[in-house]
Structure 1
Amino acid sequence: MKKLLICRHAKSSWDHPLLTDQLRPLAERGERDAPLMAKRMLANRVIPEKILTSNAVRAVQTAERYLEIFFKEDPEFEKTPDLYHASPKAILEKIRQTPDRINSLFIFGHNPGFTDLINYLGENLDNLPTAAVFGFYFQTNHWMDIQPENASFWLYDFPKNKSPKIS
């Protein structure tokens, strides 16, 4: 079984309007929410073996906050331009490149691609909020074989949520 946690980057800052979109850092709220969500995942024993992130600054900073919380688990860490504003198809292609020795993958990136991917995999979601996480189990031993037909809901949580859904 493979487990995928789709993590939207935390709230980004608009304080520097001359920065390109890819260089925008986390806002104060994002700096607060990213470790909060990582701690919730750790408390529920949702542990990454690998963290894969878009190379956009806000996504990398969000992923790094998770890395700080999960340092004892020593997950692999990879930055890629392939997740920056990627389509669901491109995101899925990148996920499918994950080595099969990895069973729990956390990916960090952006909307609308992440919300569209969640819907493609069979769950109805209008919008994945900033710092939110959405997880799937896949009934397969190979990342190359993940698809909607073998996807099952695992969890959904976001910073303002008072009752996370975890199956």
Structure 2
Amino acid sequence: MKRLILVRHGKSAWDQNLPDDKRPLKKRGERDGTLVAKSFSAFFQKPVMVWSSPAVRALSTANIFKNELAIEDENFNIIKSLYTFNSGDLYSQIQNCDPGVNNLMVFGHNPAMTNLVNNLGDSYIDNVPTTGLTVIDFETNTWENLKNGKTILSLFPKNLR
């Protein structure tokens, strides 16, 4: 079995004159990250491999989860190509995951996250919100051909406040 945990980055600031990949989290994004990570901790199982987009807002969100869930440094990776808004590109990256990894947590961006959740899982989600987390399980031993996943959990900040 393979478990894919997809997390959209937290709410980011638009009021600064920065390139898109340098935009930081707003205070709300930080609070929501802690809220979702704490809620997820009751469900979370190690070991997990974590991949994050290098964009400041995604990496900051991933670091909140890393701290809350006590994820080891050796299982925490920044992957440049995860700075994508295309679900096909995101899916291609996931397909390259080592088959020895059973639990993969990916921090990234919309619309790639929402599209991938809907393409791989069995529950339709209109929009994965900022700091939204979705867990999809697959009855397979490889990441290469993920399909027909079962969406087993969705945690969205507005439902936890």
TM-score by length of 1: 0.88
What's the CA shift string for 1:46-69, capped at 9, x where partnerless? 446111111110000000111111
Q: Which runs of 5+ in 2 are unaligned?
A: none
How far 1:44 sits from its partner (Å)? 2.1
Matched positions, count:
159
Asked if 1:10 corresponds to 2:10, the answer is yes
How far 1:126 sits from its partner (Å)? 1.1
Three-state SS of the structure 2 residue aligned to 1:145 is coil
Three-state SS of the structure 2 residue aligned to 1:66 is helix
Cα distance in 1 for partners of 2:111, 2:3 equals: 21
What's the CA shift string for 1:72-127, capped at 9, x where partnerless? x5261111221213311111110111111211111001111111111212431111
1:4-153 to structure 2, matched below 5 A, reads 4-16=4-16, 18-47=17-46, 49-71=48-70, 73-74=71-72, 76-121=75-120, 122-147=122-147, 149=148, 151-153=149-151
Three-state SS of the structure 1 residue aligned to 2:5 is strand
2:155 aligned partner = 157
How far 1:28 sits from its partner (Å)? 0.3
How far 1:26 sits from its partner (Å)? 0.4
C-alpha contact (below 8 Å) 2:3/2:103 kept by paired residues: yes
Three-state SS of the structure 1 residue aligned to 2:144 is helix
How far 1:40 sits from its partner (Å)? 1.0
TM-score by length of 2: 0.91
C-alpha contact (below 8 Å) 1:10/1:131 kept by paired residues: yes
Q: Which runs of 5+ in 1 are unaligned?
A: none
The one of the two structures with greater contact order (alpha-carbon pairs below 8 A, sep at least 6) is: 2
Three-state SS of the structure 2 residue aligned to 1:39 is helix
CA RMSD of aligned residues (A): 1.7
Identity, % of aligned pairs?
A: 37
